[in-house]
Amino acid sequence: MAAENTRNHDIGKWGEAKAAEYLKKNGYLIVEMNYRRKTGEIDIIAYEGDMLCFIEVKTRSRLDFGFPCEAVDFRKKARLLRTADYYIAENRLSESQCRMDIIEIVRNAQGDCCRHLKNAFSP
């Protein structure tokens, strides 16, 4: 079980690096990676122009249990929203336009596939 958790962690970190690379390539300015507070963690915080984007990255090597974005259930969304609120308050960004995105990455023998779901959910 520990080996599987390590493997999942490694795949997750790889996916976050791929997502960051994708975002930079598409003109985003990354301001935080793995922002952690008591309310939870946001994988990537970035700007697309004036839009502040809170981005959850989900990486899978198989689709046996559905698409990666399906792992972001209502509890995960609530934690992400609370953590985004904390970031906004901490950085005095209450006037900023914000959105919640998901980047899902599937890594398998056929190649890597990245899908960016902009404004994937809202409060």
Domain parsing of the chain, residue ranges: 2-121
CB proximity list for 30: less than 8 A, separation 6 or greater: 20, 23, 24, 44, 45, 46
The model's pTM is 0.88
pLDDT at 7: 64
Q: What confidence tens digit (pLDDT) does each residue in 42-66 have?
A: 999 999 999 999 999 999 887 777 8
Amino acid (1-letter code) at residue 84: A
pLDDT, one tens digit for every residue, the chain (123 residues): 555 556 666 888 999 999 999 999 999 999 999 999 999 999 999 999 999 999 999 998 877 778 888 889 999 999 999 999 999 999 999 999 999 999 999 877 677 788 999 999 886
Rounded Cα–Cα distance for residues 31 and 93 (Å): 13
pLDDT at 8: 66
pLDDT at 4: 55
The domain defined by 2-121 folds into Trna Endonuclease; Chain: A, domain 1 (3.40.1350)
